[in-house]
Amino acid sequence: MQRWAYTTRREGPRSRAGRAGRSSTGRHPGNRPYAPGLAAALIALVVGAVATGCTAGASDEGATGDAKAGSGARTVAQPGKYRTLLEPCGAVADATLRELLPGIAELPEDQQRAKLRGEAAGTFDSDRRVGCAWRAASATGAAHTLTLDFERVVSYDAGTSDTDRAAEVYGRKQSAVFPPGTPGAPPSPSATGSSGPPPSSGSGSSAPPSSSSASAPGASGAPGDTAAAEPVPRVLDDLGDAAFINDVLSAAGGGSTAQRRTVSVVFRTSNVVATVVYTEHSGRVTDVPDSKELQDRARKLAEDLAGEFG
């Protein structure tokens, strides 16, 4: 049998070092992968830090935006109490009309109904301004006229309420009636330091026909006049938010020498300004319409209307 000779192979230092550097898996330690748990923890840490920074930035930005919006907010005045008006031709009871217009009772039944209906005043916007008028004459020649005018004032200025604007409208009516310096007269522009034309009422509608007596100074002291119980014009403290009454005696006009007395009551309730004008034409030259009687009737009607507005 042939024997084979075996020789022992010697390994150099490089070979031994290479073998020693390998792990049991045959991979170099420098190529060892990260453990799965450690990698997940690192990713979660990075994502959490980014999310926290974004949330804080958004929160700060939102807080800054709210603060600016709040600081720039503008206070808007409240709208008026009344959004609608009374129907003027239906606002006065038939019994009251018969008392104010005694000539109606002398007419036939069908004509009485027509007189009681009244005549509506034409306006551009019936939601903002309305009016109605009645007239009846008696066989003696005396005649009575009743006119109502309701105005719902609306302010177009966001900083001025409807009620404040209505107070300005009422104030101008009052200023036109009261002579400067008399009790109840509003302060003059020089006293308040204001100048320029008065602001617009913002009503946006035309005024229905009305008697000029509501803006004419009182003349109840004219010769032949029956003296009123109280001076006129004067402020009424117990009617609406503000009110005044005026009484004017004048010639009937139209070539007649008869007397005509016109009593007007103007009152404001919230953002509505109402005017009642009650007139009597005497039938004879020697007759002078009674001031107290007409004032009492006009004032009572105004109180009833203020109650209907509520």
pLDDT by residue (tens digit) across 250-260?
987 766 778 99
Name the pLDDT band for 277 (thresholds 50, 70, 90): very high
Distance CA 113, CA 107 (A): 9
Per-residue pLDDT, 94:
97
> 255 versus 190: which is more confidently predicted?
255
Nearest-5° Cα angle at 141, 137 to 144: 40
Task: Say yes or no to pLDDT of 211 above 50.
Answer: no
Helix (H/G/I), strand (E/B), else coil: 163: helix
Residues 286-308 have a mean pLDDT of: 96
Distance CA 250, CA 259 (A): 6
HSE-up of residue 242 (Cα within 13 Å, Cβ side):
19
pLDDT by residue (tens digit) across 95-143?
999 999 999 999 999 999 999 999 999 888 889 999 999 999 998 889 9
Task: Say yes or no to pLDDT of 300 above 80.
Answer: yes
Residues 71-99 have a mean pLDDT of: 87
- H-type helices in the chain, by residue range? 13-20, 36-72, 94-100, 109-117, 162-177, 189-192, 291-309
Per-residue pLDDT, 256:
72
The answer to whether 256 and 250 are in contact (CB under 8 A) is: no
